[in-house]
Structure 1
Amino acid sequence: MTNKATKVTFWEFFQSLGKTFMLPVALLSFSGIMLGIGSSLASQDVRELLPFLDNHVCIAIFTWMSKIGSFSFSFLPAMFAIAIPLGLAREDKGVAAFSGFVGYTVLSLSINFYLTIVGILPQTDPNILRANDIQSVLGIQSINTGILGAIFVGIIVYFLHERFRKIRLPDALAFFGGNRFVPIITMLTLGVVGLFVPIVWPFFAKAISGLGYVVNSAGAFGPFIFGTGERLLLPFGLHHILVALIRFTDAGGTMEVCNETVSGALTIFQAQLSCPTTTGFSESATRFLSQGKMPSFLGGLPGAALAMYVCAEPENRSKIKGLLISGVVACTVGGITEPLEFLFLFIAPVLYVIHALLTGIGFMVMSLLDVTIGNTDGNIIDFVVFGILHGTSTKWYWVPVIAAVWFVVYFFVFKFFILHFNIKTPGREVESKNDNNTNAQTTTSKSGYNTAQILEALGGADNIVSLDNCITRLRLSVKDINIVDDQKLKANKAIGVVRLNEHNLQVVIGPQVQLVKDELQQYLTQ
């Protein structure tokens, strides 16, 4: 029993850790769009095609967009070091975030101190700096530990925060007690840790480089493994960790851009976006990015939605039309797939496995066709901004062709499985009439959901221990999971319910999850 509890806690921690990545990644995605629009519209090719843009005012606006869009790329590790303790902490989140910044800065200063003591710094020779992986980190010459180092800092700060935020010191030192002590102990702890980083970091760097070598030596099969693995990990909330590893570390490749060595598929792509001398994008980086998602996101899942609509009972089609259309819009415009995926994940896992494999094949096909469309979401916005606006060199014209093929494949595969195995996708359930009566309840909340009914289905306010959310799901800890009513949650527009263990569950809501969570929080507060 002890081993089982340890595993569950470990599992839950990594789920929560993955959730914290969404705050910087969301900003990164928007920054990428700003950077992509600015760099593409300021290019000479676009100005020749659209002469009315070739004036000082437009060029200044596009350059401004590129500058502020590059913010996330320049300070990404620091953003992760702040976001991780902010997301993991349950109380005093502001103190946790502040301590994350303190910890990351002190770590860099301590590494700088060690390198100075041993005689490596100060140094301006680019060969020596490159050999020791030394770069400017927040204006400090330090070892570039990148996202991995920031994640370690964030985790350490989180544990320090949980351990010391309520510490009671002697009266003479009482001013430094409580949550004020957290940044103090963070400074001391990370100051000591920084002295050991130059000793142990080369081993971590070699391990990540080895993983990158394995992924890149797999050729087009590497994107297939990544795309399939990312989809298979999504139901467990662990996909963010794999994605971060490929996007921001050596596992996603290393390249010199504008005389600076950068690592990670997304980091390379954004560095090339902001580099004025770059004439094209590296296929070795973009093969792990938006382009691989587009066959399934823009073609495949809409095809699956059409198959579910066609296979529904005729009298139920009007009832599920809105659900499917909203899922397709979320997928193609927002890059949010869970509202569609969770319609068949739990009732037909084999369909989800097929979907994961087809997603991986989509990554591989786009790589073989040398398409070079980057960013993170795989939606129409990415297709236009990072594909069409950057000209035919990105080979964007392959996207609608492959998406159309995926639409047909998904439609017939889903239709066959649903009809042959009598899978109860929306509109085919025996309880659909009753469910519709429940769904018809009047909702007056801003989210469009009857949050009072959702709270009741969760066992009431007294049953909820903690409440949080990620991009599409409510994440809850409850006292008694046996009184949670899955059917009532689904009757009130929840897409799915994931029971992790005897106290923790996730309720898949969709894009409006933040509003639903806020409204539930108001009920709990009252």
Structure 2
Amino acid sequence: MSNKITTKVTFWEFFQSLGKTFMLPVALLSFCGIMMGIGSSLASQDVRELLPFLDNHICITIFTWMSKMGSFAFSFLPAMFAIAIPLGLAREDKGVAAFSGFVGYIILNLSINFYLTISGILPTTDPDILRLNDIQSVFGIESINTGILGAIFVGIIVYCLHERFRAIRLPDALAFFGGNRFVPIITTVTIGILGLIVPLVWPFFASAISGLGYIINSTGVFGPLIFGTGERLLLPFGLHHILVALIRFTDAGGTMEVCHETVSGALTIFQAQMSCPTTTGFAESATRFLSQGKMPSFLGGLPGAALAMYYCARPENRHKIKGLLISGVVACVIGGITEPLEFLFLFVAPILYVIHAFLTGLGFMVMSILEVTIGNTDGNLIDFVVFGILHGTATKWYWVPVMAAIWFVVYFLVFRFFILRFNIKTPGREIESQESNEETNNIALGKSGYNVVAILKALGGADNIVSLDNCITRLRLSVEDISIVDDSLLKANKAIGVVRLNEHNLQVVIGPQVQLVKDELQQYL
């Protein structure tokens, strides 16, 4: 029985870590999307007619350059995933892991090309044959378009090979090829063999993903509701990146022909349309899974929740939590980072988080019904301006402030009712003990603004920490003895929450300054 539990936990932790590796390419993708959005919108004829001072050679050249540079992430996204996954998962020799990921991705496509060639399918220029076999050019190699899913498989396999063979010892005659040099070598052989199998099994994977997309799309307006609610419910467990990647980059998010090329995934379709000179407007079927759905909750709802928590705090504590709430609202509205606010109520009132998840999903559905077409990934003020306002009223951006205002009122009333009715201990409602205050005040703050010495003590000391890492807002730790971790002391030192995954693994929710906290802890370790 214990072995089964251990296996389940291991898989759980693995998928959490896998989801975390997605953030590196997705962060670049988001930035490149903003560059492409600004460049394509300001270079458009409509904007130049509205703002004549932009209609000159220098401005048009700069905006066209921005759009071209922004298209980089869209063009090479699968390769970035194949590199980022082993880079993020590997514990040592990360550079070798990343290099092997790129090698594996190229080898996969070369091997698939070899199979298609000896099978008589290639070479050909017949568009019907290419479409039937889903063949596209990948780094100049005619191969089956396995997209993000193929890159994820390559990344996971390369990571496993890296962990198994990075310290291998070969006989003296072959010692030069041993150690971490052996990783790209075994990757070439393993992925080369895999590439011969992919053409045989890929149609089944493609059919499964298409089936998932059909199920989602067959629900009509409820599809965005299911997606938005599910994404929020998975966020505390770190598994939301899996669902998001599936919708954004695979057939599950839709398939469309853009500029005579078939593209799959909601975000991929949106960016392809943005970079296609002959496309006007964005497809609502794709954008309904993107930024626009988040905006009612991110720009209005969560700030309303923050105001409710401030209103319900004890009067003598309001000045203490004001900075925390304001920084959380700024991170949410400007950066699209919601965890600093969400984790303020997730642990003390899970029912509020479930309501928040449903209202977020409802925002996706309402924006879809209103036929708003604002894309990208973050749902923040930048996305609203760049992909909404700058692209004109065709995006129906004017519905965003209306819905945000409605969501603000709804969140404020719902949160105030639940907090007061059930005496929920949101920030500022607890009565702090003098002892915890003194312990917090007697320890010097680091550059991060956190008492890392006290945090380390609360974690059981340096000897109790096996591994330390972080994501966007959370410390991720493995410890020898989780029973000696002091949750109350962590919270007394500005930790927003503590998530205990099992008997050795936990997460400490810090907020946007988590990287600095982790770096300062690392110095002590």
Residue 297 of structure 2 corresponds to which residue in structure 1? 296
Q: CA shift at 1:511, angstroms?
A: 1.1
Residue aligning to 2:398: 397
Which position in structure 2 is the counterpart of 1:201? Answer: 202
Contact 1:345 1:352 in 2 (8 A): yes
Equivalent in the alignment of 2:265: 264
CA–CA distance in structure 1, aligned partners of residues 128 and 301 of structure 2:
48
Query: How many Å separate the matches in 2 of 1:423 and 1:81?
Result: 44
| Equivalence for 1:473 | 474
Q: CA deviation at 1:48?
A: 0.5
1:13 aligns with 2:14: yes
Aligned counterparts of 1:147 and 1:441: Cα–Cα separation in 2: 50
Instruction: Report the equivalent of 2:484.
Output: 483
Q: Distance in 1 between matches of 2:447 and 2:139?
A: 41
Q: 1:349, 1:502 → 2: CA distance?
A: 22
Q: Deviations over 1:295-340 (max 9, x none)?
A: 0000000000000000011111111101110110111011011111
Instruction: Using the TM superposition, name which of 446-455 and 418-427 deviates more.
Output: 446-455
Is 1:348–2:352 an aligned residue pair?
Answer: no
1:97 is aligned with what amino acid?
Answer: A
Alignment-mate amino acid for residue 10 of structure 2: T
Q: 2: distance between equivalents of 1:184 and 1:306? A: 57
Q: In structure 1, what is the equivalent of residue 174 of structure 2?
A: 173
Tell me which moved more, 244-253 or 449-458: 449-458
Do the aligned partners of 1:227 and 1:292 also contact (CA within 8 Å) in 2? yes
Amino acid paired to 2:329: V
The residue that corresponds to 1:235 in the other structure is 236
Instruction: Give the counterpart letter for 1:418 in structure 2.
Output: I
Paired position in structure 2 for 1:367: 368
2:92 corresponds in structure 1 to 91
Distance 2:442 2:189 in 1: 56
CA distance in 2, matches of 1:432, 1:238: 36
Partner of residue 417, structure 1: 418
Q: CA offsets, 1:49-91, max 9 Å, x none?
A: 1101000100000000000100000000000000000000001
Identity of aligned residues (%): 85
Offset of 1:443 from its aligned partner? 4.3
8 Å CA contact 1:265–1:288 kept in 2: the answer is: yes
Deviation of the 1:488 alpha carbon? 1.3
C-alpha displacement of 1:434: 5.2
Aligned to 2:457: 456
Q: Following TM superposition, by how much is the alpha carbon of 1:502 offset from its aligned partner in structure 2, in angstroms? A: 0.3
Q: CA deviation at 1:449?
A: 1.6
SS of the residue 2:346 aligns to: coil
Q: Distance in 2 between matches of 1:139 and 1:459?
A: 54
Q: How many angstroms does 1:439 deviate by? A: 4.5
What letter matches 1:369 in structure 2? L
SS of the residue corresponding to residue 91 of structure 1 reads: coil
CA distance in 2, matches of 1:394, 1:361: 19
Which one-letter code corresponds to 1:249 in the other structure?
T
* Offset from partner CA, 1:451-478 (integer Å, 9 cap, x none): 2221221111111111111111111111
1:147 aligns with 2:143: no
Write the letter of the residue equivalent to 2:409.
V
Q: Secondary structure at the match of 1:466?
A: strand
2:4 aligned partner: 3
**Are 1:408 and 2:409 an aligned pair?**
yes
SS class of match (1:70): helix
Shift of 1:432: 6.3
Alpha-carbon distance in 1 for matches of 2:402, 2:433: 37
Report matched runs for 1:110-149 at 5 Å: 110-149=111-150
- Which ranges of 4 or more aligned residues in structure 1 deviate by more than 4 Å? 432-439, 441-444
User: Per the alignment, in what secondary structure is the counterpart of residue 271 of structure 2?
Assistant: helix
Counterpart residue number, 1:445 = 446
- The TM-score normalised by the length of structure 2 is 0.98
Counterpart of 1:136 in 2: which secondary structure? strand
Distance in 1, matches of 2:443 and 2:299, equals 33
- Write out aligned runs for 1:99-110 (5 A): 99-110=100-111
* DSSP-derived class of the 2:476 partner: strand
**Matches of 2:283 and 2:26 in 1, distance apart?**
21
Residue type of the alignment partner of 1:415: R
Corresponding residue number in structure 2 for 1:28: 29
Provide the C-alpha distance between the structure 2 equivalents of 1:512 and 1:125, rounded to a whole number of angstroms. Answer: 54
Q: Secondary structure at the match of 1:493?
A: coil
Report deviation, 1:445: 2.5
Q: Does 1:324 align with 2:325?
A: yes
Task: Decide whether aligned partners of structure 1 residues 398 and 338 sit closer, same or farther in structure 2, where only a CA change above 3 A counts.
Answer: same
Partner of 2:185: 184
1:103: how far off? 0.4
Q: Distance in 1 between matches of 2:502 and 2:186?
A: 34
Q: 1:432 to 1:143 in 2, by over 3 A?
A: farther
Q: Which residue of 1 aligns with 2:80?
A: 79
Deviation, 1:442, is 5.5
> Residue 53 of structure 1 aligns with which residue?
54
Deviations 1:68-117 (A, max 9, x none): 10000000000000000000000110000000000000000000000000
- Aligned letter for 2:515? Q
Residue 34 of structure 2 contacts residue 386 of structure 2 at CA under 8 Å; is this kept in 1? Answer: yes
Could you tell me how far apart the structure 2 residues matched to 1:434 and 1:313 are? 19
Give yes or no for contact 2:440–2:451 (8 Å, CA) kept in 1.
no
Give the direction of change, closer, same or farther, for the CA distance of 1:69–1:434 in structure 2 (3 Å limit). farther
- Separation in structure 2 between the aligned mates of residue 435 and residue 285 of structure 1, nearest angstrom: 50
Partner of 1:156: 157
Q: AA paired with 2:506?
A: L
Structure 2: how far apart are the matches of 1:64 and 1:457?
Answer: 51
Q: Which residue number in structure 2 is paired with residue 310 of structure 1?
A: 311
CA distance in 1, matches of 2:162, 2:442: 43
Equivalenced residues, count? 524
Q: Structure 1 residues 443 and 367, CA, compared in 2 at 3 Å: closer, same or farther?
A: farther
Match of 1:212 in 2: 213
**1:450 Cα deviation (Å)?**
1.9
The answer (yes or no) to whether the contact 1:294–1:379 under 8 Å persists in 2 is: yes
Q: Structure 1's 411 and 514: CA in aligned 2 closer, same or farther, altered over 3 A?
A: same
Whichever residue aligns with residue 61 of structure 1, its letter is I
Query: SS of the counterpart of 2:202?
Result: helix
Distance 2:506 2:392 in 1: 46
Bigger mean CA offset, 486-495 vs 394-403 = 486-495
Q: 1:446 offset after TM fit, Å?
A: 2.4
Contact 1:439 1:493 in 2 (8 A): no
Uncovered stretches (5+) of structure 1, i.e. residues with no partner? none
Alignment partner, residue 505 of structure 2:
504
**Which residue identity lines up with residue 210 of structure 1 in the other structure?**
G
Deviation at 1:444, TM superposition (A): 4.4
The answer to whether the 8 Å contact 2:111/2:193 transfers is: yes
Secondary structure in structure 1 of the residue aligned to 2:498: strand
Q: Offset of 1:282 from its aligned partner?
A: 0.4
* C-alpha distance in structure 2 between counterparts of 1:373 and 1:436, whole Å: 46
CA shift at 1:431, angstroms? Answer: 2.4
1:122 partner amino acid: P
Q: Distance in 2 between matches of 1:482 and 1:37?
A: 51
Letter in 2 for 1:288: F
